Structure 1
Amino acid sequence: MLEPRALHPGAWWVWALGLAVAASRTTNPLLLALVLAVAGFVVVSRRGDAPWALAFRVYAWVAGVIVLSRVLFRILIGGEDGGHVLFTLPAIPLPAAAAGIELLGPTSAEELLGGFYDGLRLATIVLCVGAANALANPKRLLKAVPGALAEVSTAVTVALSVAPQLVESVQRVRRARRLRAARGRGLRFLRGIFVPVLADAMDRSLQLAAAMDSRGYGRRGHLERRVRVVIAVCVPAGFAGVAVGIYGVLDGSAGWLGVPMLVAGLVVAGAGFVLGGRRIRRTTYRPDPWRLPETLVALCGVLACALVLVASPASLETPVSPPSWPTLPVLPAVAVLIAVLPAWLAPRPAPLVEVAK
């Protein structure tokens, strides 16, 4: 029985990104529904009681809006694509400057299915990122990033923690108003909530800035000019290579645009991170350990992604013209099911009270 503790946040992000890449490779609704079920089950099984653990519900609402908006967009400008017209709306022709696009008009089953599949794929990717946000502590993730990304990681961490902090501030202000028997509706009620929440957010920002300044966060060491030039070239070039490599992998392109470019970009960016880390002098109090559960969780995400990438592209696509019932391919389904193992391999998170101690 594993001792309750917080898993390294990097392991959760590797697992979630592997699952997201696997979802981006398919439009099969059965596979995407399986990915959603796996991500939701792992989140329910291994999330704690911290404020950021509630983020998955917000991402679920965003995912639902994405699917609905994609379907409505196909109805709006999709037009007829195939011979199975379901209904016809009054057409609204646009001016010639809009390339002859016509709004509304006939809507076919092929268009609706295409919009639904595309929206479901994007919604699944968003939910995978939401799962990582719900499982990983963003403040602990800040300690694990390389020193070269200290400023960028600080901004990302603050951005990820804004929503939970605002929800907590709103709840605290509402409790205070109920204790004072304050009532109201409309603009007066919003003003009574907005001003205290804004003041609380500013106070927290000032306290965070003072704490970081008192600890010397972001202090830079001296490096030679040529080393700084190498860092300035390696990091952007590595990121560009990674972006091109990811596009090649997701697009299924053969040759050097796929895996070779991705590996080369990672190597160049890694070299830039190592050199750039020498500029930042910082210490880590109680660094998060990387143990066997972290390795197993990360491997589950990587293995799921790898098996989906090597699967036949035909088994990952569901044709919409003509419409056909989707089938569940064996290898991609097994790959996605591997990603559910962290629900048992990862230790249960420690209660927030114990973490604070």
Structure 2
Amino acid sequence: MTAYWLPRNLHPAAWWLWALGLATAASRTTNPMLLGLILAVAVYVVVNRRSDAPWALAFRLYLMLGAFIVVMRLVYRIIFGGGEGDTILFTLPEIPLPDWAAGIRLFGQVTVESLLGGVYDGLRLATMLICVGAANALANPKRLLKSVPAALYEAGAAVVVALSVFPQLAESVVRVSRARKLRGSTEKGIRAFRAVAIPVLEDALDRSLRLAAAMDSRGYGRSGALTGGARAVTGSLLVAGLLGICVGVYGVLDGTTPRYLAGPMLAAGVAVAAAGMISAGRRVQRSTYRPDRWRLAEVIAAGCGLAAAVALYRSSSVDPANLNPSLRPLTWPEVDLIPALGVLIAVLPAWLVPPPATDLEETDR
């Protein structure tokens, strides 16, 4: 048991499953109390289990982006749709529009119901985004590429590069800001932003060019020998499987869709996509240096996040009113025991998984 608690970095897929489970749970509710609980769980786990790596610094950017989303949803409701409801909060001068813009209103009455609806929707979207940011802060995006199936290796490389944009920007901002302080710069506000933005963008461009050259030298994007018929079969299986997965995921997330479009369609899409991946993987030959292993800690982390998603999914069919508080009439949000416990299970990785390893400890592992 002592070896279990030795510092090490978990398999990146475990943290992504944990975060996607929380994001799925957030997508099932507009209850601000539950969404706040999900946010608290994500922040607590990130604070306790993130490493000192550069990509972990990007989490604060996701928090700021989430706050920006909520504010913009409020502004949108005030400008375009603030009059839905009976409880008038204040009234702004309405701008008349031509007949062809019927149904669209600018300003006018702003109601409490409309603003709360904007807050609920914005908070849900912000929570889902912050959950993705938590996965980026906890998992090494470059190590995730080693776990991508062979059939999706080229696409996985593009996804990993896209996911690492925010962490790289955060690292560039910290490095440029430190360099400015060493030079004695005391500028703040807009001037400081202008002085930091150009070096950060230039650094991001240089990183992109170096990454593209490195990937090209290692043979990314090159495909092995495959007949035309085999390519057609493989492509058809992958496209059909991914379409089935998309429809199934939509059915799972949207409680109003027929049940045969949820679990059965998702299972069929996964099966067809798996067959396509096996067929496509035969043309990709690659080796992996020191592959990441799936151990008990990874099972605990991924299972806790998926437990939150299952709890919210089951609660939506039992008592959907508490997951989506009514705005007409206005009611105070309430939280049932089952969804609250399901979300709280997701905080267990903060104590039940080993602490992250430093770069030296990871090298000696």
Fold conserved between structures, TM > 0.5: yes
| Residue 75 (structure 1) aligns with | 78
Question: Is the 1:20–1:128 contact (alpha carbons within 8 Å) kept by the matching residues of 2?
Answer: yes
Separation of aligned partners in 2, 1:55 and 1:315: 33
Question: Is the 1:146–1:277 contact (alpha carbons within 8 Å) kept by the matching residues of 2?
Answer: yes
| Residue 350 (structure 1) aligns with | 357
| Residue 225 (structure 2) aligns with | 222
| Residue 273 (structure 2) aligns with | 269
Question: Is the 2:18–2:303 contact (alpha carbons within 8 Å) kept by the matching residues of 1?
Answer: yes
Alpha carbons of 1:236 and 1:65: their partners in 2 closer, same or farther (altered >3 Å)?
A: same
| Residue 307 (structure 2) aligns with | 303
Letter in 1 for 2:289: Y
Separation of aligned partners in 1, 2:165 and 2:253: 31
SS for the counterpart of 2:89 is strand
Alpha carbons of 1:216 and 1:77: their partners in 2 closer, same or farther (altered >3 Å)?
A: closer
SS for the counterpart of 1:103 is coil
Question: Is the 2:7–2:361 contact (alpha carbons within 8 Å) kept by the matching residues of 1?
Answer: no
| Residue 95 (structure 2) aligns with | 92
| Residue 42 (structure 1) aligns with | 45
Alignment of 1:188-267 (within 5 A): 197=200, 200-252=203-255, 253-267=257-271
| Residue 36 (structure 2) aligns with | 33
Q: Does 1:293 align with 2:292?
A: no
Q: Does 1:17 align with 2:20?
A: yes
Give how far 1:352 is off.
Answer: 2.8
Give how far 1:282 is off.
Answer: 0.8
Alpha carbons of 1:297 and 1:238: their partners in 2 closer, same or farther (altered >3 Å)?
A: same
Alpha carbons of 1:172 and 1:121: their partners in 2 closer, same or farther (altered >3 Å)?
A: closer
Unmatched runs of 5 consecutive residues or more in structure 2: none
SS for the counterpart of 2:282 is helix
Of residues 93, 101, 104, the one that matches 1:101 is 104
Alpha carbons of 1:189 and 1:239: their partners in 2 closer, same or farther (altered >3 Å)?
A: same
Give how far 1:232 is off.
Answer: 0.7
| Residue 125 (structure 1) aligns with | 128
Separation of aligned partners in 1, 2:110 and 2:51: 45
Question: Is the 2:173–2:196 contact (alpha carbons within 8 Å) kept by the matching residues of 1?
Answer: yes
Give how far 1:172 is off.
Answer: 3.8
Between stretches 152-161 and 169-178, larger displacement belongs to 169-178
Alpha carbons of 1:240 and 1:97: their partners in 2 closer, same or farther (altered >3 Å)?
A: same
Question: Is the 1:248–1:257 contact (alpha carbons within 8 Å) kept by the matching residues of 2?
Answer: yes
TM-score (norm 2): 0.89
Question: Is the 2:55–2:171 contact (alpha carbons within 8 Å) kept by the matching residues of 1?
Answer: no
Letter in 2 for 1:38: V
Question: Is the 1:27–1:318 contact (alpha carbons within 8 Å) kept by the matching residues of 2?
Answer: yes
Letter in 2 for 1:303: A
RMSD: 2.5
SS for the counterpart of 1:87 is strand
Between stretches 170-179 and 90-99, larger displacement belongs to 170-179
Identity %: 59
1:200-256: CA deviations, max 9, x gaps? 445444443444344444443222322211111111211111111122122212232
Unmatched runs of 5 consecutive residues or more in structure 1: none
SS for the counterpart of 2:67 is helix
Alpha carbons of 1:301 and 1:94: their partners in 2 closer, same or farther (altered >3 Å)?
A: same
| Residue 65 (structure 2) aligns with | 62
Separation of aligned partners in 2, 1:344 and 1:174: 34
Alpha carbons of 1:14 and 1:189: their partners in 2 closer, same or farther (altered >3 Å)?
A: closer
Alpha carbons of 1:46 and 1:176: their partners in 2 closer, same or farther (altered >3 Å)?
A: closer
Separation of aligned partners in 2, 1:147 and 1:94: 55
Q: Does 1:141 align with 2:144?
A: yes
Question: Is the 2:31–2:325 contact (alpha carbons within 8 Å) kept by the matching residues of 1?
Answer: yes
Separation of aligned partners in 1, 2:34 and 2:130: 14
Separation of aligned partners in 1, 2:139 and 2:40: 19
Of residues 329, 332, 351, the one that matches 1:325 is 332
TM-score (norm 1): 0.91
1:39-76: CA deviations, max 9, x gaps? 11111110000111012111111111111111121111
Of residues 11, 14, 27, the one that matches 1:8 is 11
